[in-house]
Chains A and B, each alone.
Chain A
Amino acid sequence: MTTETVSTRDNYASSSGVRYGRRRTKAGSAFSHFLLIGFGMLMLYPLIWMLGASFKDSESIFSEISPFPDPLILDNYARGWEGSGVGFGTFFLNSTIVAVLSVVGNLISCSLAAYAFARMSFKFRTLFFACMMATLMLPQHVLLVPQYILFSELGWVNTFLPLVTPKFLAVDSFFIFLMVQFLRGLPSELDQAAKIDGAGPWQTYRLVILPLTVPALVTTAIFTFIWTWNDFLTPMLYLQDPRNYTVPLGLNAFLDASGESAWGPMFAMAVLSLGPLFGFFLAGQRYLTTGIATTGLKG
């Protein structure tokens, strides 16, 4: 009986991520690896091409089809780093500042709001929830001008404030909704247990709920970082002095369809720009593997 239980358990999706390979044949797993890698290569081809292009000289980028550079040059990286006189070092720094602040802002404000929507009841809950969802449904372009006028009146143009302050005010409904859904997946017994222990809403939130939503928080952090980093439209509107530019603006400054575009340096810097993004994702990934062990609850 025991052995049967153990072996059937082997085949369940396990939140600890340990590989249960006992029942899989070697050929079977090799085949799935082959498929996964093959599919992966197909997914990655455009990026491989971009990497190759960053090492090609301007003559070959678009005239040669193969993604492999010949000759291989490093000039694009050097020239790209100069970044139109301001320097990509500055652009990377600016992007990092904006992205990190945005992550902090979203984590705090969105989880607070999500907790209220998911775990508390109050008179206007449905109305506010609908309003929160509604903000997702209006195309950004028509809000651009009125918001610009607003921030212009406040004197915030050419600073990072219009980019970062909204994050501290839970403007990204995407993450509020995400966390609400995650929170609703947690049993309500948890809250009640906390209340019995005398915890108020703040303590319940901080000590009980928050640690259990680490996957949602990590997801929020990763996505906020990446989307803020890659955001082009809002920084383009609000940042006037190139010394304040973020990376996408720096990349765009290489391209001029009406005249000369510096594709090589642009691809080089685009490749570099993937570095922090990928790094952040890898770092955060580890926390995505943390499952919750709530085995103590049923006692």
Chain B
Amino acid sequence: MFTQRSGKKIAALATIAALALGAAGCASGEPEAENTGPVELRMSWWGGDARHELTNQVLDLFEEENPNITVVRDFGGFDGYLDKITTQYAGKNSPDVIQLYNEVLVEFAQRGQVYDLNQAVEAGDISLDGWPEDLIETNTIDGKLSALPFGLSTHGFVFDEAKSTELGVDIPEEGFTWDDLAEYGEAINEASGGSVKGVTDLSHSYQVFEVWAKQNGQEYLNADGIGFDEDTLVDYWEYWADMRESGAATAPDVSSEYLGTPYDAVIAGVATSTFLFVNQYASVQASTPNALALTRLPSEEKEPGQYLRTAMNLVVSSQSEHPVEAAKLVDFLLNSEAANEILGIDRGVPANSGVVEAATGSVDEINAKAMAVIESVRENGSSAPVPAPVGSGTLNTLFSEAAQQVQFGRATIKDAAAQFLAQAASELG
């Protein structure tokens, strides 16, 4: 069995030896007491087996270029990932480099559990050349750079081209509006005699609502809490209520079945369009023989609404015993061309525009479509929101529940919206 403990002991002994030698051999000491002995880092990530393979390759490359550093890899599926990391933190045993996501980043950052990467930037261990300002802002919490994006993605809509053609309905064109979507949905419903719906009901999705709010000049959440008016939410839910009624959107029980993964409804042929993040496009397309078209979210002639979104972040744990080396690893993963050539766009497009070319060099036709949407949003998109406040996880669940209450007719839209806002205030307050 491979234990961390023996590794740590060896590292400790070697460090002492190295320092002793260094002290004996050097006339003037270096200002930084840098570890020249072997260092063992642990990196943790989630993903599918494709991602595991790529990441392992990159880490092997890193170890080659840094012979004194070994990286213990801790990877697995998404299920239970957060539990594992949090428990490890509680046991003072967290990994050095951790892949995390937006919704929980603030929980870790505000409790001082992540290392301030600004220190590494100042020391020159991490370079921020080619990084968009607003992404750095989004990840700066309480003045500390808590994380760096490990891949960018954005919101998208998929349309089942094959099925739409079969039913004789045209897919909306680029720049389509919410009304266009409603028309499309109704047409599909009619053409199929009610057996296939045009779009899955998205009233429970706080992620789509976030874009809707931005399109109306508001925010879903800001640093203080709720960033939108009750009316905006009411409008949103009324839109979807109309969609359900006209048959354009899926019935509530069907929507519930596919709640977490609405694209499965398209794969199963229950609906012909839905929302997803563009970095999911390739795997969704691979799960069905029907050709799927990828577009941006519906928008109005106002704010674009959608933005370049951090798909996932990299953080360095504040419990790490080797933050300098950990920062080096982070820098390698995010800024090295060689690394990004291997990683490709498995996690999304690199944030560092300097390495985008390396990562997207060998992109296939399907992924090229995802890239196109991302580039379009990079040019014409809204700015990323500020980090979600502590307690927002519960909030997102409450949003989904309130929407379902409306879907199943257990509450009126106005009541549900008012109740949601009241609950949000108490959760965040």
Contact = CB atoms under 8 A, between A and B. Distances in A.
A242 B291 CA distance: 37
B74 interface: yes
17 contacts: A62-B267, A144-B87, A157-B4, A157-B93, A159-B1, A236-B76, A236-B80, A241-B72, A242-B73, A243-B2, A255-B48, A256-B46, A257-B261, A260-B50, A260-B280, A260-B346, A262-B48
Contacts of B53: 84-85
Contacts of A58: 286-287
B48 A241 contact: no
Contacts of A84: 49, 52-53, 75
Contact of B3 (A82, A158, A257, A259): A158
A237 interface: yes
Contacts of A85: 49, 52-53, 56
A61 interface: yes
A148 B3 CA distance: 16
Contact of A258 (B90, B280, B290): B280
B279 A241 contact: no
Interface of A: 58-63, 82-85, 144-145, 148-149, 152, 155, 157-160, 232-233, 236-237, 240-245, 249, 252-262, 265
B288 A59 contact: yes
A245 B80 CA distance: 14
Contacts of B381: none
A252 B2 CA distance: 21
A158 B286 contact: no
Contact of B78 (A83, A233, A256, A265): A256
Interface in B59-117: 72-80, 83-84, 87-88, 90-93, 95, 101
B80 A233 contact: yes
Contacts of B290: 63
B51 A259 contact: yes
B414 interface: no
A160 to B, nearest CB: 6
B47 interface: yes
Given A159-B3, A242-B75, A237 B283 contact: no
Contact of A253 (B52, B72, B280): B52
Interface string B349-367: 0000000000000000000
Given A62-B264, A84-B53, A157-B93, A255 B2 contact: no
B37 interface: no
Contact of A232 (B80, B280, B286, B288): B80
B409 interface: no
A98 B365 CA distance: 45
A255 B78 contact: yes
B282 interface: yes
A256 B269 contact: no
B312 to A, nearest CB: 8
Contacts of A59: 286-289
A257 B90 CA distance: 26
Given A149-B90, A158-B3, A259 B76 contact: no
A243 B2 CA distance: 8
B14 to A, nearest CB: 19
Given A84-B53, A158-B1, A259-B279, A252 B77 contact: yes
Contacts of B49: 82-85, 253-254, 262, 265
A254 B84 contact: no
By Cβ-Cβ distance, the 6 closest A-B pairs, closest first, are A260-B283, A252-B77, A152-B91, A84-B52, A84-B49, A256-B48
B260 interface: yes
Given A62-B268, A257-B260, A160 B282 contact: no
Contacts of B95: 240
B100 to A, nearest CB: 12
B269 A63 contact: yes
Given A241-B73, A254-B49, 7 more contacts: A241-B74, A252-B79, A253-B48, A253-B49, A258-B277, A259-B347, A262-B48
A237 B93 CA distance: 11
Interface in B254-275: 260-261, 264, 267-269
A85 B50 CA distance: 10
Given A59-B289, A62-B264, A259-B283, A254 B48 contact: yes
A140 to B, nearest CB: 12
Contacts of A260: 48, 50-51, 280, 282-283, 286, 346
B78 A257 contact: yes
A244 B48 contact: no
B48 A259 contact: yes
B4 A240 contact: yes
Nearest to A63: B288
B2 A241 contact: yes
B5 interface: yes
A82 B49 CA distance: 9
B74 A242 contact: yes
A220 to B, nearest CB: 26
B137 to A, nearest CB: 24
A148 B48 contact: no
B42 interface: yes
